[in-house]
């Protein structure tokens, strides 16, 4: 079969010159149905498209004649020093593209001092991710039973995860239309290892008048009370992922959440929501300076990282590029992708007159040059 995807390489292909090249090259390494699942968005994919357009609309207006020698990308996240402001976003089921998915992503992260945010729905158990040894946060999807949720959190605490990221924007999930049309199904090998061994949630019979979505799936969706419960059961800092509104941001800050991730789930949750980049400045203004605000959705280049930082993000998370790099060259690919993004950011900083991340201010952005 000529469409059979290539196995991951143990070297970097010579045609990868920038981080975004992983998106193109990965096509030969991922079967078409799986690629449709990873690349796709929800609904009409308006939010998916908006994410990229939001970056494309913005350009950089550099400051000249600044001395940037000795500059660096160092920062601190949740009180810990980090070499750069890039994290690996939680991406489920990495066994879809690599036999040791999350373990290889964790190795790539460890090699580049990158925080890996491991998904609840990972193909490798969180204990195996932790054994790699790099900096790590655990992304939590609330489970139908509080005992199971609390047990997941305890397991993450036990093996040294440094924070919990509660994702709240996708309680109802289904593969996008492109993936369904392509016949995508989740193979058992890429299943959710963290949830193995827990009793299956009880099935619920709905009355004919009840909604499959509002009465069925949303019964398990987290509420503000669940968030309060979570912050009570864990000693780890809790961040909330999926924030788009300034009033939600302020309420979460007041509730004692350790930080926010401005995200539209890479255009995979509610279609029609704005690009996360377009709401970032309002969220930052709502919570004030000095409070951790991260961003994801649409990051493909170092200049995108620069733009997000200029609009108020402390750091960014990388979703799909991680899967593409993993598919092409496993841990090596992930480490290389992060290194490329970091160098692209450094280049952008150097040419814009920024020696440190603190120098990346909103006045450096302008409307993009027309293509």
Taking the complex as a whole, the smallest distance from the CB of residue 62 to ligand FNR amounts, in Å, to: 26
Closest to 23 (Cα-Cα) out of 342, 347, 328:
328
The answer to whether 213 is a known ligand-binding residue is no
- Joined tokens for residue 312: 């108020």
Taking the complex as a whole, the smallest distance from the CB of residue 343 to ligand FNR amounts, in Å, to: 18
Contact between 174 and 254 under an 8 Å Cβ cutoff? The reply is: no
The answer to whether 300 is a known ligand-binding residue is yes
Contact between 102 and 123 under an 8 Å Cβ cutoff? The reply is: yes
Please identify, using beta-carbon distances, which residue of 35 and 231 lies nearer to ligand FNR.
Answer: 35
Round to whole Å and give the CA distance between 37 and 46. 16
The answer to whether 276 is a known ligand-binding residue is no
Round to whole Å and give the CA distance between 95 and 100. 6
Please identify, using beta-carbon distances, which residue of 305 and 310 lies nearer to ligand FNR.
Answer: 305
Please identify, using beta-carbon distances, which residue of 116 and 121 lies nearer to ligand FNR.
Answer: 121
Round to whole Å and give the CA distance between 334 and 69. 28
Round to whole Å and give the CA distance between 109 and 98. 16
Coil, helix or strand for 142? coil
Please give the residue whose beta carbon sits closest to ligand FNR in the complex: 319
Taking the complex as a whole, the smallest distance from the CB of residue 293 to ligand FNR amounts, in Å, to: 15
The answer to whether 266 is a known ligand-binding residue is no
Please identify, using beta-carbon distances, which residue of 122 and 354 lies nearer to ligand FNR.
Answer: 122
Contact between 94 and 327 under an 8 Å Cβ cutoff? The reply is: no
Q: Beta-carbon neighbour count of residue 85 at 10 Å?
A: 25
Buried b / exposed e along 18-42 (16+ C-beta atoms within 10 A): ebbbbbebbeebbbebbbbbbbbbb
**Diameter of the chain measured on Cα atoms:** 70
Please identify, using beta-carbon distances, which residue of 19 and 354 lies nearer to ligand FNR.
Answer: 19
The answer to whether 287 is a known ligand-binding residue is no
Coil, helix or strand for 50? helix
98 is catalytic: no
Taking the complex as a whole, the smallest distance from the CB of residue 38 to ligand FNR amounts, in Å, to: 4
* Active-site hit among 84, 104, 265, 336: 265
Taking the complex as a whole, the smallest distance from the CB of residue 178 to ligand FNR amounts, in Å, to: 12
The answer to whether 174 is a known ligand-binding residue is no
Closest to 34 (Cα-Cα) out of 107, 98, 129, 108:
98
Please identify, using beta-carbon distances, which residue of 226 and 359 lies nearer to ligand FNR.
Answer: 226
- Tracing tokens 């969180």 back to the chain, one arrives at 126
What residues line the site for ligand FNR (CB under 6 A)?
A: 38, 51, 89-92, 119, 121, 139, 167, 241, 263, 265-266, 268, 296-299, 318-320, 323
Taking the complex as a whole, the smallest distance from the CB of residue 67 to ligand FNR amounts, in Å, to: 33
Round to whole Å and give the CA distance between 172 and 106. 27
The answer to whether 299 is a known ligand-binding residue is yes
CA distances from residue 298 to 23, 267, 269, 304 in whole angstroms, order as listed: 12, 9, 14, 8
The catalytic site residues sit at: 265
State the binding site for FMN.
90-92, 119, 139, 167, 241, 263, 296-300, 319-320
């Amino acid at each position: 079969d000529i469409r059979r995807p290539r196995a991951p390489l143990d070297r970097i292909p010579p045609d990868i010159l920038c981080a975004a090249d992983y998106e193109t090259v990965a096509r030969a390494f991922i079967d078409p149905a799986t690629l449709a699942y990873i690349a796709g968005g929800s609904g009409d994919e308006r939010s998916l498209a908006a994410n990229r357009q939001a970056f494309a609309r913005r350009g950089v207006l550099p400051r000249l004649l600044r001395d940037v020698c000795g500059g660096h990308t160092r920062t601190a996240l949740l009180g810990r020093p980090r070499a750069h402001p890039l994290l690996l976003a939680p991406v489920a089921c990495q066994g879809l593209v690599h036999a040791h998915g999350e373990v290889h992503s964790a190795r790539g992260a460890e090699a580049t001092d990158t925080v890996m945010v491991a998904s609840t729905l990972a193909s490798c158990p969180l204990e195996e991710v932790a054994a790699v040894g790099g900096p790590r946060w655990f992304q939590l999807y609330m489970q139908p039973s509080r005992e199971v949720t609390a047990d997941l959190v305890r397991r993450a605490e036990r093996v040294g995860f440094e924070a919990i990221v509660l994702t709240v924007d996708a309680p109802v999930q289904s593969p996008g239309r492109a993936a369904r049309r392509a016949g995508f199904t989740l193979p058992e090998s890429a299943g959710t290892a963290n949830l193995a061994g827990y009793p299956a949630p009880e099935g619920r019979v709905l009355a004919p008048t009840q909604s499959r979505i509002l009465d069925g799936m949303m019964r398990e969706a987290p509420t503000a009370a669940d968030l309060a419960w979570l912050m009570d059961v864990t000693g780890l800092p809790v961040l909330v992922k999926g924030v788009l509104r300034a009033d939600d941001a302020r309420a979460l800050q007041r509730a004692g959440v350790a930080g926010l991730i401005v995200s539209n789930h890479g255009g995979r949750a509610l279609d029609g929501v704005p690009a996360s980049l377009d709401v970032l400045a309002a969220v930052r203004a709502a919570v004030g300076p000095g409070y951790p605000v991260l961003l994801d959705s649409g990051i493909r280049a170092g200049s995108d990282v620069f733009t997000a930082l200029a609009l108020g993000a402390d750091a960014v998370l990388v979703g799909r590029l991680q899967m593409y790099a993993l598919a092409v060259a496993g841990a090596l690919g992930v480490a290389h992708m992060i290194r490329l993004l970091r160098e692209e950011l450094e280049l952008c900083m150097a040419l814009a007159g920024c020696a440190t991340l603190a120098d990346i201010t909103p006045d450096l952005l302008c409307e993009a040059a027309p293509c």
